[in-house]
Structure 1
Amino acid sequence: MPSPQALSVRSMLQQMRASQNPAELSLEAQRAGLDQMGRTIPKPENVRVERTSFGGVPGEWVAIADEPTTRVMLYLHGGAYYMGSCESHRSLAWRLAQASGARVALIEYRLAPEHKFPAAVEDAVKAYESLLAQDIAPDRIAIAGDSAGGGLTLATLVSLRDAGKPLPACAAVLSPWTDLAGTGPSMESRAAYDPWLEPEGIRKAPLLYCSPEQLTHPLVSPLYADLTGLPPILIHVGHDECLLDDSVRLHEKLRQAGVEARVHIWEDMWHVFHSFPIPEADEALKEIGDFMKEKIPE
């Protein structure tokens, strides 16, 4: 059974979905709404946030004060490639920092429709290369992201591999959006259970980011990419979300490519439930942190 807190959040999301039509909201309103959701968890006093730039890409270092570490996580936020910022994802970043014992490099890659594909991929690669330029060893780095940021995590890994760059020690993806063509069976089979997303919106959003012809480009939809040679990857996804099969099929393809991959399907959970103040999120973040500690021991 889901926790009382999870049931409360699910009810809130269902009410929001019933009362709001994203198509009627401006981009500015949608972006502001996601930023506001990110501010619902107050920042503890021991969290240190430093505004900076990663290879020209704006962002923040998010870390736990007085906890020295050489472990680094490059975090790529979600938001369908047209929303999201440090404001929307700072609380998730510091919770990941707590769980993993890492400094989190939270970046603000360029957003669509002002900046279409491949802008986000280019910025993520630049940010990773900037970490290497700071003499951070690749085996001390993890890349992680949620939703669109999960897909972007995989696209970044593929881009780095193809460019012959040293890959990070591991990656974690939270409800990753890996098939912008929207072909997964769960797009329909989970539509009645998903309290947040719905198939029509999921299929419209990509056209802000790319052309119809690019929907199956391997760096737009990593489900269609060659995934051989990637580092160990942990996948988290909610059982009740429309994008469930984006993760299930990704896991199958990673395993077929010989990549060490683990998938955890969280019962009764929805898209990126990690972002909410519920016990299930705390448990999931601890699992991600433990995975990072296993792959990047101090």
Structure 2
Amino acid sequence: MTTEQATTEQATTEQATTTQAATENDPLKDLYTDWSEILATTEGLTVRLFRSIFDEWHQPTAEPTDVTYEEGVVGGVPGIWCRPVGSDAGQVLLYTHGGGFSVGSASSHRKLAAHVAKALGVQSFVLDYRLAPEHPHPAGLEDAVSVFHGLVDSGISPQAITTIGDSAGGNLAVATALALKERGGPLPGAVIAFSPWLDMENKGVTLETNDATDALITRGLLEGMIAGVLGDSVDPTTPLANPLYADFTGFPRLYITAGSVESLLDNATRLHDLATAARVDSTLSIGEGQQHVYPFNAGRTRAADDEIAAVAAWYAR
């Protein structure tokens, strides 16, 4: 891994590239390729079946050792606690799963959340927030905010909470901090976004340039998910729905990662540029040759394990 650092008066910007060996298998890419085939050839795919398919997201992830799981409710929102042995119960990752706001679950993401929690020496709560289209924006965001307040009410310091998520969950991790800032309350100590999906206008340039190399994401797939979460009533430039239109002044320190071949790459780079311009301590890590949310390969590929180790080093800084 190589790291280049640039420092402004009030912000530190780091850019890193993680390279996966050409001969290394990529279980996540294999899963995405299979999903894409199913989506392209299955007629009349119901919401229930669509969600069932995406609950396989955990399959590329090795089961982490020395972690216990417990179902729970925080702030009125159900989810799964990931508790690594010996972890600091006073430090919590508030994990919002990906899935276009409409699929995915705490179960599909518990192993990934546990790998990150174990590396950081903390505990993680993975939300089962309300999903679109039954519950459009801002239902998922309000659930994440409720969990944040529930953790604080239980005695966890706001600064000891990190909002973290992948894809649409990365959007929610960022938007949760923005919503708390907008309301004038305490903020989380940090935000982590894996391959965040932020652009509700579907205008990203890498939707075109990386279309041939991304094994899952297409403009059409995103269009359907945008329609589900925003409907006809929410403007796609609403900052809490599309953080690319947000004011990041006073935002917590931020870690962003994405794969170099994924179609949502420029969501990550644009977020980093916006945060840096607002003098936020922002770190951007690009996994060379990696797919969407490549840390899902935790325990299976060196690229994923190295990236999680980099997050842990950043967290401990």
Q: Shared fold by TM > 0.5?
A: yes
Say if 1:39 and 1:91, in contact at 8 Å, map to a contact too: no
Kept after mapping to 2: 8 A contact 1:228/1:257: yes
Q: Which residue in the other structure is 2:288 paired with?
A: 267
Q: Distance in 2 between matches of 1:16 and 1:8?
A: 12
Q: Does the 8 Å CA contact 2:28/2:296 hold for their aligned counterparts?
A: no
Does structure 1 residue 280 correspond to structure 2 residue 300?
Answer: no
> What's the CA shift for 1:266?
1.0
- Asked if 1:98 is matched to 2:121, the reply is no
User: Unaligned regions of 5+ residues in structure 2, if any?
Assistant: 1-18
CA contact (8 A) 2:29 2:215 kept: yes
> CA contact under 8 A between 2:136 and 2:230: conserved in structure 1?
yes
Amino acid in the other structure paired with 1:153: A
Q: Distance in 1 between matches of 2:208 and 2:178?
A: 29
Q: Name the aligned partner's letter for residue 280 of structure 1.
A: A
Instruction: Please report how far the alpha carbon of residue 195 of structure 1 lies from its aligned counterpart in structure 2 after TM superposition.
Output: 1.4
Partner residue of 1:135 out of 155, 163, 166:
155
Match of 1:173 in 2: 193
Unpaired runs of 5+ in structure 1?
Answer: none
Identify the match of residue 204 of structure 1 among 210, 213, 224.
224
1:89-146 CA distances to partner (integer Å, 9 max, x unpaired)? 0111110111111100111110001111110111000000011101111121111000
1:99–1:290 contact (8 Å) kept in structure 2? no
Q: Which moved more, 1:208-217 or 1:257-266?
A: 208-217
Find 1:2's aligned residue among 20, 25, 50. 20
Deviations 1:20-65 (A, max 9, x none): 3277422111211121231454534521111111110001211112
Q: Indicate yes or no: 2:314 matched with 1:291.
A: yes
2:32 to 3, 13, 21: 13
Greater relative CO, 1 or 2 (CA 8 Å, sep 6+): 2
Counterpart secondary structure, 2:90: coil
Identity among equivalent positions (%) equals 32
1:79 aligned residue (88, 99, 103): 99
Is the deviation greater in 6-15 or in 22-31? 6-15
Alignment of 1:2-81 (within 5 A): 2-3=20-21, 4-7=23-26, 9-21=28-40, 24-39=44-59, 41=61, 43-44=63-64, 46-81=66-101
Give the number of equivalent residue pairs: 294
Larger fraction in helix:
1
Note if contact 1:171-1:231 (Cα within 8 Å) is conserved in structure 2.
Answer: yes
1:50–1:61 Cα contact (<8 Å) kept:
yes
Instruction: Tell me which protein shows more strand as a share of its residues.
Output: 2
State the one-letter code of the partner of 1:174.
Answer: F
Where 2:69 maps in the other structure, the secondary structure is: strand
Residue pair 2:64, 2:111 contacting (<8 A) in 1 also? no
Q: Deviations over 1:237-262 (max 9, x none)?
A: 11101111111111111111111111
- Check the 8 A contact 1:69/1:101 in 2, yes or no: no
RMSD of the TM alignment (CA)? Answer: 1.8
CA distance in 2, matches of 1:12, 1:27: 19
Whether the 8 Å contact between 1:186 and 1:241 is mirrored in structure 2 is yes
3-state DSSP class of the match of 1:70?
strand
The one-letter code sitting in structure 2 at the alignment partner of 1:10 is K
The Cα of 1:85 is off from its aligned counterpart by: 1.0
Is the alpha carbon distance of 1:23 and 1:252 closer, same or farther for their aligned partners in structure 2, counting shifts above 3 Å?
A: farther
In the alignment, the residues of structure 2 paired with residue 171 and residue 136 of structure 1 have an alpha-carbon distance, to the nearest angstrom, of 16
Question: TM-score, with normalisation over the residues of structure 1?
Answer: 0.93
CA distance in 2, matches of 1:289, 1:52: 25
The one-letter code sitting in structure 1 at the alignment partner of 2:197 is: W
Q: Which piece of structure 1 moves more, 255-264 or 34-43? A: 34-43
